Amino acid sequence: MEHATITMSSSSWARSPTAQVGSSRVSSRVGTAMPPVSVSMRSSRGRNSCVARATMTGGKSAQPSQVSMNGGSPKAAAPVSSNDESSKSASQNGGEVATETTVSITVVGASGDLAKKKIFPALFALYYEGCLPKHFTIFGFARSKMTDESLREIISGTLTCRIDQKENCGDKQEEFLKRCFYHPGQYKSEDSFGELSKKLHEHEGNRVANRLFYLSIPPDVFVDAARCSSLAASSGNGWTRVIVEKPFGRDSESSAELTRGLKSYLKEDQIYRIDHYLGKELVENLSVLRFSNLVFEPLWSRQYIRNVQLIFSEDFGTEGRGGYFDNYGIIRDIMQNHLLQILALFAMEPPVSLDAEDIRNEKVKVLRSMRVLDADNVVVGQYKGHTRGGVKYPAYIDDKTVPKNSITPTFAAAALFIDNARWDGVPFLMKAGKALHKKKAEIRVQFRHVPGNLYKRSFGTDLDQATNELVIRVQPDEAIYLKINNKVPGLGMRLDRSNLNLHYADRYDREIPDAYERLLLDAIEGERRLFIRSDELDAAWALFTPLLKELEKRKISPELYPYGSRGPIGAHYLAAKYNVRWGDNNSDTSDSA
């Protein structure tokens, strides 16, 4: 096991340029070697962000998994147990001792939207940043008839370089594309995956061959593709991991069935269920904010927090994805996964360590302490057509792939409660919608009023205006700001509301990586902290399934709201029921941090 040297230059943790990722896991033993800390207030510029990664496992190495193969040819094998990372680095391969490792990444569904939009660009960004191991190969796999060249052409149209590191971008793209290949095949065919496996093997040579399959395909072929990759294309001497995209079912039953299907061919530690919101920088930062700042953790409970708001909005509709969306709706698409995952990280008890299982144990606990949702605590909406400034915006049901009588919600607001000692009685309000006035995702924490506030009169009657509010703006224009009451300078005594503001673009002189970069790198490194474990998933579905069934059974019609508006009025009534005002609807100018 190598250990990364971590140095702290300026006030940011830096990834040491001396360590390597890929063949062996780089980890920092937090607590064993404390970095020197300098207190300069500027972060370093232009540092290669991924020459090494200071991982969060506290020194524990991830357990790789392995499914055996018979002398390089596919064997209809049941998954075997995880083995030890060290045993692989000198494992036997065709009689020779393999000392080098390689990673083969297969994007299953390579012709699709997500692959083009996110996966290949993220892989290139990792390559550009020096995060991929020395030996790697990328394969696209799909049913479409394509050649290596045509795949490269498609990919090259989507690659970009980081703003502050454009040097050699063209050369890097050329090098990267040379390592991308395509294999056409059927998702249900073990023969297709067997053929793919042979091609992978040609590239892997005698190295320890680690294989990552990214299932970027519709959910009805997840299990087939998992079966074929496991049975016909698993690594013979390294680990085999499978990233599965959402949706993970439509309810508790279908999710359990999917998990059963996947687990027939893969062990839990081979399954990487992706929720890309967990890979977003400010979501990753939530635990840092809570657990490494004395000023926050003591306030993190019902004693000081009045309510928490988790808000997601998009300023565009379901354009192009209506077919998928109509079968799921906004509650399944955003709330049950992205917002609930953020809530779990926000509200969990401090984990024993930063190890993936310790964190996921705490997330499961908090999810299991939550009250099951019912229709009285939910408002649903659907966008209708609207004309503004001479531009006509379509209704949801104008989408050709959506039935005209669809009552699928494109907006929902919900009040959730955690029945444990820390959060008893605190409303956690969620709001998610498409075709609203802004694109944003944020967490708002509204604190209680100051008891016996000496300056009460200076606020007038609106005490809500005077409440402290912590805003974690996940996107766009990442920021963390705290609204405080402050004296307006002058001889009088007038208070206003101002922000203590950590605005990322001003503070950090570097691009924020895309969530898929972090998650792909984690999967390559065997870091499961940001992926969803099956018991987490069960707990999440248990909260939402009764509500989803009730909405469908009672055929509850959504409240219509105009495209580009702030959403249905019902969301305000729901919040008012719990004495809450949505923070994002505040006309308060201090909100634009």
Ligand X SMILES: O=C1O[C@H](COP(=O)(O)O)[C@@H](O)[C@H](O)[C@H]1O
Ligand Y SMILES: NC(=O)C1=CN([C@@H]2O[C@H](COP(=O)(O)OP(=O)(O)OC[C@H]3O[C@@H](n4cnc5c(N)ncnc54)[C@H](OP(=O)(O)O)[C@@H]3O)[C@@H](O)[C@H]2O)C=CC1
Write out the residues near ligand X by the rule CB under 6 A.
Answer: 276, 314, 333, 441
In the complex, minimum distance from the CB of residue 515 to ligand Y, in angstroms, rounded to a whole number: 11
In the complex, minimum distance from the CB of residue 439 to ligand X, in angstroms, rounded to a whole number: 8
Question: What is d(CA 53, CA 223) in angstroms, rounded to the nearest whole number?
Answer: 32
Contact between residue 413 and residue 335 where contact means Cβ atoms under 8 Å apart: no
Q: Based on CB atoms, which residue is closest to ligand X, 42 or 117?
A: 117
**Contact residue for ligand Y among 14, 151, 217, 339 (CB under 6 A):** 217
Q: Based on CB atoms, which residue is closest to ligand X, 247 or 568?
A: 247
Select the binding partner of residue 109 from ligand X, ligand Y, none (C-beta < 5 to 8 A, by kind): ligand Y
CA-angle at 418, arms to 413 and 423, nearest 5°: 115
Q: How many Cβ atoms sit within 10 Å of the Cβ of residue 37? A: 12
Question: What is d(CA 543, CA 418) in angstroms, rounded to the nearest whole number?
Answer: 11
**Which 458-487 residues touch ligand Y, going by CB under 6 A?**
none
Q: Is 17 in the site for ligand Y (CB under 6 A)?
A: no
Question: What is d(CA 266, CA 243) in angstroms, rounded to the nearest whole number?
Answer: 11
Contact between residue 563 and residue 435 where contact means Cβ atoms under 8 Å apart: yes
DSSP string covering 103-147, please? EEEEEETTTSHHIIIIIHHHHHHHHHTT-S-SSEEEEEEESS---
**Contact residue for ligand Y among 5, 20, 144, 206 (CB under 6 A):** 144
In the complex, minimum distance from the CB of residue 327 to ligand X, in angstroms, rounded to a whole number: 12
Strands (E), 461-549: 469-475, 479-487, 495-503, 531-532
Q: Is 302 in the site for ligand Y (CB under 6 A)?
A: no
Q: Based on CB atoms, which residue is closest to ligand Y, 276 or 483?
A: 276
427: preceding bond cis by omega (within 30 degrees): no
**Contact residue for ligand Y among 64, 121, 140, 219 (CB under 6 A):** 219
In the complex, minimum distance from the CB of residue 300 to ligand Y, in angstroms, rounded to a whole number: 30
Tokens of 77: 């094998």
Choose the stretch contacting ligand Y; rule: CB under 6 A; options: 88-96, 110-118, 122-130, 414-422. 110-118
Q: Name the catalytic one among 203, 276, 338, 437.
A: 338
Q: Is 169 in the site for ligand Y (CB under 6 A)?
A: no
In the complex, minimum distance from the CB of residue 245 to ligand X, in angstroms, rounded to a whole number: 9
Phi, psi of 98 (to 5 degrees): -85, 130
Site string for ligand Y, 170-189 (x = CB under 6 A): -----------------x--
DSSP code of 331?
Answer: I
Select the binding partner of residue 142 from ligand X, ligand Y, none (C-beta < 5 to 8 A, by kind): ligand Y
Q: Based on CB atoms, which residue is closest to ligand X, 315 or 464?
A: 315
Select the binding partner of residue 218 from ligand X, ligand Y, none (C-beta < 5 to 8 A, by kind): ligand Y
Select the binding partner of residue 111 from ligand X, ligand Y, none (C-beta < 5 to 8 A, by kind): ligand Y
Q: Is 158 in the site for ligand Y (CB under 6 A)?
A: no
Helix or strand or coil: residue 174? Answer: helix
DSSP string covering 255-314, please? HHHHHHHHHTTS-GGGEEEE-GGGGSHHHHHHHHHHHT-TTTGGG-STTTEEEEEEEEE-
In the complex, minimum distance from the CB of residue 7 to ligand Y, in angstroms, rounded to a whole number: 37
**By CB under 6 A, how many residues form the interface with ligand Y?**
19
Which residue's CB atom is positioned nearest to ligand X? 333
- Angstrom CA distances, 312 to 78, 366, 474, stand at 41, 21, 10
Asked if 338 is an active-site residue, the reply is: yes
Helix or strand or coil: residue 391? Answer: strand
In the complex, minimum distance from the CB of residue 121 to ligand Y, in angstroms, rounded to a whole number: 13
Q: Given the structure tokens 């919101």, which residue do they identify?
A: 277
Q: Element (H or E) spanning 576, and its range? A: helix 570-577
Choose the stretch contacting ligand Y; rule: CB under 6 A; options: 210-218, 353-361, 440-448, 460-468. 210-218
- Angstrom CA distances, 136 to 133, 519, 531, stand at 6, 17, 23
Q: Is 143 in the site for ligand Y (CB under 6 A)?
A: yes
Q: Based on CB atoms, which residue is closest to ligand X, 154 or 432?
A: 432
Contact between residue 25 and residue 85 where contact means Cβ atoms under 8 Å apart: yes
Q: Is 111 in the site for ligand Y (CB under 6 A)?
A: yes
In the complex, minimum distance from the CB of residue 293 to ligand Y, in angstroms, rounded to a whole number: 32
Site string for ligand Y, 66-105 (x = CB under 6 A): ----------------------------------------
Q: Which residues pair with residue 497 across a beta bridge?
A: 485
Active site residues: 338
Which residues form the interface with ligand Y (CB under 6 A)?
A: 109, 111-115, 142-144, 187, 216-219, 221, 245-247, 324
